[in-house]
Amino acid sequence: MPIDRTSCHAMRALRARRAAGLVALAAVVGPGLLAGLSDDDAPGITTYSILGADYGYRLLWVLLLSTVALVLFHEIGARLGVVTGQGLAGLIRERYGVRWAAISLLALLIANVGTTCAEFAGVAAAMELAGVSRVVSVPVAALAVSLLVLRGSFRRIERLLLALSTVFVAYVASGLLAGPDWSATARGLVVPGIPASRAALLAATATVGTTLAPWGLAFIQSYAVDKRLKPEDLRYERIDVITGAVLTGVIGLFVVVACAATLHAEGRSINDARDAAVALDPLAGGLAATLFGGGLLGASLLAASILPLSTAYSVSEALGDESALDDRFADAPVFYITYGFVVVVSAGFALVPAAPLVPILFLSQVLNAVLLLPLLVFVHRIARDPEVMGEHANGRVASLVVVTAIALIALCVASLGVLSAI
């Protein structure tokens, strides 16, 4: 029958198109997923834990909006990389000159040193759960990640660290087992409870800063460039970005819910890693601290490996001193000096004997939110510039959404500043 034959051909063509689409998607996947999931690092988990432990379900809407902003800006970051073939700092230099590039680089450098410091604090906190002093764990971790990254064997253990950090998926199970109040969860997500106190605003700002971190923004753009993605890949890259961001948001949601159902319900706050591990009790019971420590260590080491490297690449690119890992020191001094600076200063801060680890993990993310603002303004201006982006430039509606997101983050930071000054 002709009709059957036609529909058979149509089905085959549809299947072939789907298969081709899946292959194209598989080739593109990476930047969005890794940049998104990397937000669930040690400071990220700590911040979400504090949000749930101290404020229950009330500030979940901040996490929801931060995840929406993550989708928005990571999509723009990937698009900037694909269309221009350049990293963020280099692109800022090309469009706005060396002074603005220097200012944005400084913001990125400070934010990245703060977050790397938080990663080493995560290593210290995880190892202190096992009774190992930070005086031993932090220098060993700094030396180990530097050797692994600079000697080029990082790729070999990257998967192991990634696998270790997926322990945090345990929060999904723990959140479900803890018997959370789902109606309060839904209410917290859609009804904005105003964070009126300084502490609540700090938690909200840190949530924004950890979900949409400056380093993630620079990282996704560079990664899209390195993958040599083309404008025709953008459709699939959007799926990659949305998947990464939604997974981050979902894990973050369950961290908050698990902490709200356990710590907040008992009126407990988080003062150290052992407190934070309590949220995994419903799943792991007596093994909660071990599970939490393992995940914290893996996530911290992974991010502590990527962050100094990403910073060194950004600085080298913007200063016009392109470098790669196989260059000798004499050929790439800016690259290696930047890498060493980030590792030594960050590890040094985490090593200070009296330095409180949880506040370092938490407050570094507040700093992220503050330093994020100038970078977002540049991202917005470049993304809407048709001379740079051509047909891929943001239109009026997209620009309005971006400006609204930047204004909300600025409002959050400004309110924190005002409340801190009073």
Partner 1 sequence: MPLLTDLLGLDMIDHRGRPAGRLHDLVVTADPEHPPIVGAVLRGERQARPVAAAFDLAAPAIAEGEGVDGLWLARDVLDTQVYDIGGHRISRVGDVVLDLSQGVLTVSGVEAGIAPVLRRLGLVRASRRARGRTLAWSELHPLSKRGHSLVLAADPERAHGHLAAAHAHRPHLLSRHARPPSA
Interface contacts to partner 1, rule CB under 8 A: 83-86, 90, 93-94, 97-99, 101-102, 228, 230-231, 317, 319-322, 330-331, 333-334, 387-388, 390
Q: Minimum distance between the CB of residue 165 and partner 1, rounded to whole angstroms?
A: 31
Q: Cα–Cα distance between 63 and 70 in angstroms, integer? A: 10
Closer residue to partner 1 in complex, CB, 58/93: 93
Q: Minimum distance between the CB of residue 235 and partner 1, rounded to whole angstroms?
A: 17
Q: How far is CA 122 from CA 148, 239, 282, 293, 306, in A?
A: 19, 31, 23, 9, 15
DSSP 3-state percent helix, strand, coil across the chain (nearest 5): 85, 0, 15
Q: Minimum distance between the CB of residue 341 and partner 1, rounded to whole angstroms?
A: 15
Query: What does the DSSP assignment read for 27-96?
Result: HH-SHHHHHHHTTSSHHHHHHHHHHHHHHTTTTHHHHHHHHHHHHHHHHHHHHHHHHH-S-HHHHHHHHH
Q: Minimum distance between the CB of residue 390 and partner 1, rounded to whole angstroms?
A: 6
Closer residue to partner 1 in complex, CB, 185/316: 316
Q: Minimum distance between the CB of residue 83 and partner 1, rounded to whole angstroms?
A: 7
Q: Cα–Cα distance between 80 and 304 in angstroms, integer? A: 25
Q: Is 94 exposed, middle or buried (0-12, 13-18, 19+ CB in 10 A)?
A: middle
CA angle 301–326–162, rounded 5-degree value: 25
Residue with tokens 């330095």: 355
Query: Which amino acid is residue 262, in one-letter code?
Result: T
Closer residue to partner 1 in complex, CB, 89/167: 89
Closer residue to partner 1 in complex, CB, 63/309: 309
Q: Yes or no: say if 85 and 225 are a contact pair by the CB < 8 Å rule.
A: yes
Q: Minimum distance between the CB of residue 98 and partner 1, rounded to whole angstroms?
A: 5
Closer residue to partner 1 in complex, CB, 4/326: 326
Closer residue to partner 1 in complex, CB, 98/140: 98
Q: Minimum distance between the CB of residue 105 and partner 1, rounded to whole angstroms?
A: 11
Tokens representing residue 197 in the block: 């106190």
- Which residue in 322, 318, 314, 335 sits closest to 96, CA to CA? 318
Closer residue to partner 1 in complex, CB, 275/327: 327
Q: Minimum distance between the CB of residue 331 and partner 1, rounded to whole angstroms?
A: 6
Closer residue to partner 1 in complex, CB, 99/155: 99
Query: Which amino acid is residue 390, in one-letter code?
Result: G
